[in-house]
Amino acid sequence: MSASGAFESRDGLRLATVHQALAAPRARIAIVHGYAEHSGRYEELLAELAARGYEGHAFDLRGHGASQGARGHVDDFADYRGDLDRFLERLPEEPGRPRFLLGHSLGGLIALDYCLHRAGTVAGLAVSSPFLAPGFRVSLLQRAALAAGRFTPHVAVPSGLRLDDLSHDAASVAAYANDPRIFRTVTLGWMRAVRTAQEEVASLAGEVRLPALFLIAGADRIADPARAQDLFARLGSTDKALRVYPGLFHELFQETAAERAGVVADLVGWLDART
């Protein structure tokens, strides 16, 4: 059974955590969730990892879930980086028990940015549907809003997310729609911070050299799957693996049971080969 907790960010925010502690884990997995969601949506994955000997840990990003902070807002991507520093400090890397980072969507971008700036901190990186570019057409109005973010960073606008693009599983989509901890807005400052991080990660992909696994939804209409595959090809890692799931939507860990089982098996298999 997982346990909840919290830690304090460098600027004094209380950030909520979920832990699945094991007596003798094969490795520790730090999970970074996607935009607008929270760590509670990974309870099933935490249990599955624990059943295979992996100790899972997750936290709610600032402005998400039970964590403090303006909803969905970040002033600079360095804030996410600092929060992940603090979180990983609580997950010591011990001989024979490496730490791995797993990031989904926005969490995938955060994880890649982190490994770019914090080389050697974790033993390996896995990302699912990393948000490296939108999988939808950006309107002129959205482009104008992005430019305005420099002057009005805290202004929030509708995210425009289509729930049917999340998953083929109707129950999963309904759970997302009815979750009071999930919100439907983005701030202009967040949009600018994300764009800057996307450009930096894309330009410096060759400097990411640790073992890496990319899990890509082939029919993703939220995060561009082609951009993710292009970045994967340019990673500096000599140990890297790519899994593309044709027809699957953005939320790979929230897809139908049969499809989801294959994704989890690929993740666990990759971890097994590196522990």
pTM more than 0.75: yes
**pLDDT at res. 140:** 57
Strand pairing category for 99-104 and 54-59: unpaired
Catalytic residues: 105, 220, 250
Residue 22's domain comprises 3-273
Q: Is the pLDDT of residue 96 over 90?
A: no
pLDDT in tens, 64-87: 999 999 999 999 999 999 999 999
Contact 160, 166 (CB under 8 A): no
pLDDT in tens, 105-114: 999 999 999 9
Share of the chain above pLDDT 70, in %: 95
* Number of domains the chain contains: 1
Contact 200, 116 (CB under 8 A): yes
Q: Is the pLDDT of residue 1 over 70?
A: no
What is the average pLDDT across 179-184? 97
Q: Is the pLDDT of residue 148 over 70?
A: no
Among all chains, which residue has been given the structure tokens 């425009």?
A: 160
Q: Is the pLDDT of residue 144 over 80?
A: no
**pLDDT at res. 92:** 80
**pLDDT at res. 244:** 98
Using CA atoms of 262, 101, 26, 239 in order, give the dihedral in degrees to the nearest 10.
70
Q: Is the pLDDT of residue 146 over 70?
A: no
Q: Is the pLDDT of residue 150 over 90?
A: no
CATH, residue 221 = 3.40.50.1820
Per-chain mean pLDDT for the chain: 94
Q: Is the pLDDT of residue 159 over 80?
A: yes
HEC profile for the chain?
Answer: CCEEEEEECCCCCEEEEEEECCCCCCEEEEEECCCCCCHHHHHHHHHHHHHCCEEEEEECCCCCCCCCCCCCCCCCHHHHHHHHHHHHHCCCCECCECEEEEEECHHHHHHHHHHHHCCCCCCEEEEECCCCCECCCCCHHHHHHHHHCCCCCCCEEECCCCHHHCCCCHHHHHHHHCCCCCCCEEEHHHHHHHHHHHHHHHHCHHHCCCCEEEEEECCCCCECHHHHHHHHHHCCCCCEEEEEECCCCCCHHHCCHHHHHHHHHHHHHHHHHCC
Q: Is the pLDDT of residue 135 over 90?
A: no
Residue 145: pLDDT band by 50, 70, 90 thresholds? low
**pLDDT at res. 94:** 84
